[in-house]
């Protein structure tokens, strides 16, 4: 994409996540995940319809969660501008939103046409995300103890000084135990591995790596941010049910192949998130006296930009 196109599309992505965040925020604490997801998705779709160009959704969250979605293959935009690919989750952390727990985000990534990896029927993947200084030392086939030792050496730390994000899921029980036994500290959010990955990449957060299995849409969006900032990421499909594994094999895809970051996102791309209900990364939308204030994060071309936006009704 040309620089002018990137700047234009960044503005579109920011408008889309802001719209989704404000719509989703109306459902914070109402214990209704599907309504929150539907509101965020509808608002994001309406914003993307105004995009100056033609965007194709390569990977979305809805099919995995049987939720309202921007569906794979959906085309958005007015057609008058550049073509681009989209990876999207209008409401990352739906349970956080429904229960008013911190960390829910409206998220999206844009890339050049044909550059965002499509996992086909694969909904889950095993991931490692590390900062730039450790990008060349990780191996998804290493046991966690060896990964910790290699990352610690690359970062000039002791293993005991490492802080690791692993989602608090039953599938991670052994992994968490082994990382703790090795001496590292573990942060175990209930979900939201996009937020955990961003914390690894941002120097203002004291997180050294992310490990474990999460969603493929989150993986591709994370890879857009990782690539933009020169970090390291590896991923491999990790089906959580037999029918998912069978569908992956039927599609001719390998369960053993490890994808590097530049295979998950093979060209220029950027990532945008807007806070829905507050948390360590971004605050929630705030409305008063006819104005709405949102907080967003734009990761693009080696830069991290925090953007506060005020909308006047």
- Tell me the C-alpha to C-alpha distance, in Å, between residue 296 and each of 52, 95, 111: 21, 20, 19
Q: Which residues pair with 292 in a beta bridge?
A: 287, 311
Q: How confident is the model at residue 114 (pLDDT cuts 50, 70, 90)?
A: very high
Q: Strand, coil or helix: what is 150? A: helix
Q: What is the mean pLDDT of the chain?
A: 93
pLDDT digits (tens, 9 = 90+) for 40-60: 999 999 999 989 999 999 988
pLDDT at 67: 46
**pLDDT classification of 2: cutoffs 50, 70, 90:** low
Q: Which helix (H) or strand (E) holds 185?
A: strand 185-187
Q: Which residues pair with 308 in a beta bridge?
A: 295
Task: Return d(Cα 119, Cα 255) in angstroms, integer.
Answer: 11
Distance CA 263, CA 282 (A): 29
Contact 187, 163 (CB under 8 A): yes
Q: What is the pLDDT of residues 208-238, one digit of tens each?
A: 999 999 999 999 999 999 999 999 999 999 9
Q: How far is CA 237 from CA 124, 146, 228, 245, 284, in A?
A: 6, 21, 23, 9, 33
CB of 294 closer than 8 Å to CB of 274: yes
What is the per-residue pLDDT across 246-268, written as a single tens digit (0 to 9) for each?
Answer: 999 999 999 999 999 999 999 99
Coil/strand/helix, residue 164? strand
- Give 104's contacts (C-beta < 8 A, 6+ positions apart): 24, 28, 91, 92, 93, 94, 96, 97, 192, 275, 276, 277, 279
- The answer, yes or no, to whether residue 9 has pLDDT greater than 60, is yes
Residue 312: its pLDDT value, please?
A: 85
**274 close to 18: Cβ distance less than 8 angstroms:** yes
pLDDT recorded at residue 3:
60
Q: How far apart are the first and last CA of the chain?
A: 34
pLDDT band per the 50, 70, 90 thresholds, residue 61? low
- pLDDT beyond 90 at 68: no
Q: Helix, strand, or coil here: 270?
A: strand
Q: Specify the pTM.
A: 0.93
Q: What is the DSSP letter of 167?
A: -
Nearest 10 degrees: CA dihedral of 28, 29, 30, 36?
30
Tokens 């889309």 belong to 16
Contacts for 35-38: CB closer than 8 Å, 24+ residues apart: 36/91, 36/94, 36/97, 36/98, 37/62, 37/65, 37/67, 37/68, 37/90, 37/91, 37/94, 38/67, 38/68
Which among 123, 112, 143 has a CA at the least distance from the CA of 268? 112
Helix extents (H) in the chain: 3-25, 33-48, 62-65, 94-99, 144-155, 173-182, 193-201, 216-229, 242-250, 261-264
For the chain, list the domains and their CATH numbers: 3-116+268-312 (3.30.540.10), 124-264 (3.40.190.90)
């Amino acid at each position: 994409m040309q620089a002018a196109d990137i700047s234009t599309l960044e503005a579109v992505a920011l408008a889309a996540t802001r719209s989704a965040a404000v719509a989703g925020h109306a459902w914070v604490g109402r214990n209704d995940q599907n309504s929150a997801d539907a509101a965020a998705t509808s608002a994001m779709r309406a914003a993307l319809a105004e995009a100056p160009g033609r965007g194709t959704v390569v990977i979305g969250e809805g099919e995995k969660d049987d939720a309202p979605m921007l569906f794979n293959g959906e085309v958005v935009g007015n057609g008058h501008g550049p073509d681009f690919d989209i990876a999207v989750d209008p409401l990352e952390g739906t349970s956080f939103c429904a229960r008013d727990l911190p960390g829910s985000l409206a998220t999206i990534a844009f890339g050049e046409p044909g550059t965002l990896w499509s996992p086909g029927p694969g909904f889950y993947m095993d991931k490692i995300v590390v900062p730039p200084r450790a990008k060349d030392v990780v191996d998804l086939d290493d046991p966690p103890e060896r990964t910790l030792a290699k990352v610690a050496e690359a970062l000039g730390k002791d293993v005991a000084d490492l802080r690791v994000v692993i989602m608090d899921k039953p599938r991670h029980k052994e992994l968490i135990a082994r990382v703790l036994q090795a001496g590292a500290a573990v942060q175990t959010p209930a979900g939201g591995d996009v937020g955990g990955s961003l914390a690894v990449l941002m120097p203002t957060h004291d997180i050294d790596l992310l490990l474990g299995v999460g969603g493929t849409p989150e993986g591709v969006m994370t890879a857009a941010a990782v690539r933009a900032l020169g970090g390291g990421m590896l991923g491999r499909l990790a089906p959580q049910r037999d029918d998912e594994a069978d569908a992956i094999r039927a599609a001719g895809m390998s369960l053993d192949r490890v994808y590097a970051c530049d295979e998950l996102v093979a060209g220029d791309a950027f990532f945008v998130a807007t806070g829905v209900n507050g948390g360590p990364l971004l605050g929630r939308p705030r409305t008063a006296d006819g104005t709405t204030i949102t907080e967003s994060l734009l990761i693009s071309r080696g830069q991290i930009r925090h953007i506060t936006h005020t909308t006047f009704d």
